[in-house]
Every structure is written in C-alpha cells, then in structure tokens.
Amino acid sequence: MSTSSEPVKIGIVGLGTVGTGVVRLLIESCDHITRHVGRNLVVERVVVRDESLSRQVTLPKGMVTSDLSQITEDPSITVAALLVGGLEPARSIMIELLERGKDVVTANKALLAEHGPELFALARRKGRSIAFEAAVAGGIPIVATIAQCLSANRIEAVRGILNGTSNFILAHMEEEGASYSESLAMAQKLGFAEADPSMDVDGTDATQKLAILIQLAFGIWIPWREIPRTGIEAIHAVHIARAAEMGYRIRLVASASRAENALTMRLEPMLVRQGSPLAEVRGAFNAVEIKGDAVGRIFFHGQGAGQMPTASAVVADIIDTVVGRAAITFDTTGRMIDTHARSKEPLQSDPMNRHFLHLLVRDKPGVLADITGILGTHGISIASVIQQEPTELGAGVPLVIMTHYARQASLRLAMQEIDSRPTVTAPSTCLSVLDELDAPRHSVRESN
C-alpha cells in the first residue's frame, strides 16, 4: 500500500452496463471514496471496442479510446477494471494487463471459470492480484466473506440461488400461474433476461459461479463443466403448482458440500421447503447460504446483477486493491487455489435426497402397483402418492410421488424403466428435495 497522497489512476476496460456503473460510482461518490481510502481515485482512461458509440456517462474528451496500450503502456495506471464479457478478447486483455504489471479487478465469471488456473498463476508470478467480488452474485459480498471473514472456518456447505433470470422465471410462474415461455418473455421485457437467455436458463451461468465459490470455500479447482448441471427449461407450471400444494417452491439451487470426506456439488432445480431462506428469494434476486464449523449457518440476500449492485462490488474491489487488502486476500486464496492439485477428496457424484416425481399415466388398474414395484426394485421407498385430475399436459392422469431418501443414480435407472412403460404417457419429471443445512445425514431406507 502506498502512503502517498497522490491520486490513484484507474484504467477501465469496457464501458457497457457494468463499466458505466463503475465510472458513475467513482465520479459521483468521489468524496466518500476519498475519505474511505485516504486518496483520490481518478478514472484516467476508459478503453472500449468502438469509441464512436455514444455513452451513457459524460467523460472528458480523449478519455475514451479503443487503444488498450493507453492503459498498458501508462505506468501511472496501477489498477485496471476489466469489464468486458465472454472469453476472448477478455482473456487476452487480462493477460496483457497482468503482464504489464497492473492489478486487475473483474466481473467476468465466465473468464475465471474457464481460465482461472492460467490467470491466477500468471498474476501470482507477476506479483499482481485479481479481485473478482462482482463475478459471483453481483452485489452480495460473498467472495470477501468466504475469503476473509470466514477464514477461521472449515466450510461444510455453500449453496445458493446464483442466477437472477432463472429465479425471476420460476418465481413468476409460481406467483402468476404463468407458463415457462410467458415468464421468460416477461423477464426479457423487464430487462432481467437477455435476448438469448440460454446461459441463464440452462444453468451455465450459475454453474460457473458455483465453480468459483467451490474454489474459495473448499480450496479446490473443479472445471465447471464437470459439475452436474440441469437447467430450468423442463419445469412446467404444473410441477410448480403440485410442489406448492406439498409446501415447496421450485428454485434453481447451486450447492456444494463436504460430508464423509467427499465433496458433493451440483446445479439443479430443487424443491425447497416454503418458509426456508432460499425458498423465499423472489424476483431476480440472488442468495447464498453457508455453513461453517465455527460460525454455523449464515445467509446473504441481495441483487445478483444490475448496473449499480455490480458496480458496488467492482468499486469495492478497486478500493481493496488500492489499500492493499486485495493483494493479501489474493495471496491467501491464491495459495488455496492450487489448481494443479485438484481435489484430494473424492467427488461424490451420487448424493442422497428425497425426490419429487411427476408422472402422467393411463387411468388403468395395476398401473400404480407397477410403478411402485419398479421403484421398490431399485430400492426406492415411497413417502406419499397423490393421484390428480387430468391436466392440460396431455392424455393421462398426473401422479405425484414423494420418495424417501434415495441415490440419484437409482432414481435415474428407475425413471428410465418407468418411462419405457406404455402406460406412462409422457416423459416423467424427477426433482430432488433440498434438505435444511443442519438436517441430519440420511441413509437409504428399506424399500416399501
């Protein structure tokens, strides 16, 4: 940390949604930030792709350029915020900034999830830091919490709602009784979903954030593609309604936990008990729940994206970098993120849960006995069965089954067998039920 009273010059790469918010916050909260840091932070240069575009923030003539070397070649700029999305040219820009001795702040979770090992290693070699609070859950300060505030804890579980778009869609389907496509259209109309929402609804975005949280919480690097992932595209209004009747909401849950010396991780739509913290997350909000061995359960809720919540995290990282906190944290977490070591603990890919099954079957004698028989053959014990009136989903009678604890692999095999029966009229849905964080561990019960 420098003790000089000279202004600190900041370079910004990217002046889109987040970059504009960051520049605004640095300008509009200048006095407050100066009091906090003890030095003035000034935006020295802003690099964009197309400098001829009109901007939503007024900057001095000549400050905006498409020439990255105006940051990389300027030794007076020591900190750069990389606010360009995607993998390339973001990766090359990050490398260039680090090579040229800049500390980097970024909001780009895809870049870190894909190229984290290479970029963290380069930063360490160059004695620089990479700060990335904004890359996970936007305005919720979860990275600093895990990396700094919970450093005395062995983290047992971390889970959350990490994608606002999919949460908006699920909550809107429930609250308005709307279909998936109507809710997606509403999310797009309100600016909560991109024109191409695939990375949000197929779970890619949330899984990339989960991979970063796993690095921080458990100190291991899991390529995000290895994390089991299911999006929300197959969730139908009728699943949400049936789950609600049983006291649950459907939420896209990212989770990772350590139990019996194994790590379990996945991203999937789950039934979450109404009234529990994650079930009550509405709209485009995010939430993260952590269990540490000393601190117990803690819960964070807030805006996971959007211009100013994300800018809040980026500017906090810029401040942390300037005062020297980011370097200490990066050094500590950088040692934890030993990306070559991979996991020393086995990965548990077959967790145990209760499951909600939604089937459509022909209304014939013996069908229910056949289905319960298949479940029993796979060692899956049934907690309850509800037969519903036919719905708009097509021919067949809806059958909702809640199972006792069972392994996902057993469920998968049983569902394949059930769906191959001619008496089952549409592909069945199987969703896991989320346990409370402090629920006792369960073993498989004897089949009914």
State the catalytic residues. 209
Show the binding pattern over residues 292-331: x = contacts ligand NAP (CB under 6 A), - = does not. -------------xx---x---------------------
Q: How far is the CB of 132 from ligand NAP (least distance, A)?
A: 10
Q: Which is nearer to ligand NAP, 110 or 250 (CB)?
A: 110
Q: Which of residues 112-131 bind ligand NAP (CB under 6 A)?
A: none
Question: Does residue number 204 form part of the binding site for ligand NAP (CB under 6 A)?
Answer: no
Q: Helices 204-218 & 325-336, crossing angle to 10 degrees?
A: 90
Question: Does residue number 11 form part of the binding site for ligand NAP (CB under 6 A)?
Answer: no
Give the interface size with ligand NAP as a residue count (CB under 6 A). 24
Q: Could you write out the DSSP letters of every residue in 64-89?
A: EES-THHHHT-TTEEEEEE---SSTT
Count of alpha carbons within 13 Å of 414, Cβ hemisphere only?
25
Strands (E), 306-408: 347-348, 352-361, 382-387, 397-403, 406-407
Question: Does residue number 352 form part of the binding site for ligand NAP (CB under 6 A)?
Answer: no
Select from 12-20, 27-35, 218-226, 274-282 the region that touches ligand NAP (CB under 6 A): 12-20
Question: Does residue number 140 form part of the binding site for ligand NAP (CB under 6 A)?
Answer: no
Question: Does residue number 25 form part of the binding site for ligand NAP (CB under 6 A)?
Answer: no
Listed in sequence order, the residues at least 6 apart from 304 whose beta carbon sits closer than 8 Å to its beta carbon are 137, 138, 139, 140, 161, 162, 163, 164, 284, 285, 286
Contact 42, 6 (CB under 8 A): no
Select from 14-22, 274-282, 318-326, 336-344 the region that touches ligand NAP (CB under 6 A): 14-22
Question: Does residue number 18 form part of the binding site for ligand NAP (CB under 6 A)?
Answer: yes
Q: How far is the CB of 26 from ligand NAP (least distance, A)?
A: 15
Question: Does residue number 196 form part of the binding site for ligand NAP (CB under 6 A)?
Answer: no
In three-state secondary structure terms, 358 is: strand
Assigned token pair, 55: 């901007």
Q: How far is the CB of 253 from ligand NAP (least distance, A)?
A: 20
* Three-state secondary structure string covering 409-426: HHHHHHHHHHHCCCCECC
**In the complex, residue closest to ligand NAP by CB:** 16
Question: Does residue number 87 form part of the binding site for ligand NAP (CB under 6 A)?
Answer: no
Q: How far is the CB of 68 from ligand NAP (least distance, A)?
A: 6
Residue among 327, 321, 319 at smallest CA distance from 26: 319
Contact 43, 27 (CB under 8 A): yes
Interior angle at CA 120, CA 118 and CA 126, nearest 5: 100
Listed in sequence order, the residues at least 6 apart from 438 whose beta carbon sits closer than 8 Å to its beta carbon are 291, 297
Q: Which of residues 375-434 bind ligand NAP (CB under 6 A)?
A: none
Question: Does residue number 50 form part of the binding site for ligand NAP (CB under 6 A)?
Answer: yes
Q: How far is the CB of 64 from ligand NAP (least distance, A)?
A: 9
Among 27, 74, 85, 349, binds ligand NAP (CB under 6 A): 85
What are the residues facing 358 on neighbouring strands?
400, 429
Question: Does residue number 269 form part of the binding site for ligand NAP (CB under 6 A)?
Answer: no
Select from 42-50, 317-325, 361-369, 420-428 the region that touches ligand NAP (CB under 6 A): 42-50
Contact 80, 102 (CB under 8 A): yes
Question: Does residue number 13 form part of the binding site for ligand NAP (CB under 6 A)?
Answer: yes
Question: Does residue number 187 form part of the binding site for ligand NAP (CB under 6 A)?
Answer: no
Place of tokens 């036919």: 390
Select from 105-113, 191-199, 207-215, 375-383 the region that touches ligand NAP (CB under 6 A): 105-113
Longest dimension (CA), the chain: 84
Separation CA 352–CA 184 (nearest Å): 31
Among 33, 134, 271, 311, binds ligand NAP (CB under 6 A): 134
Binding positions for ligand NAP, rule: CB under 6 A? 13-19, 47-50, 53, 83-85, 89, 107-109, 134, 138, 305-306, 310
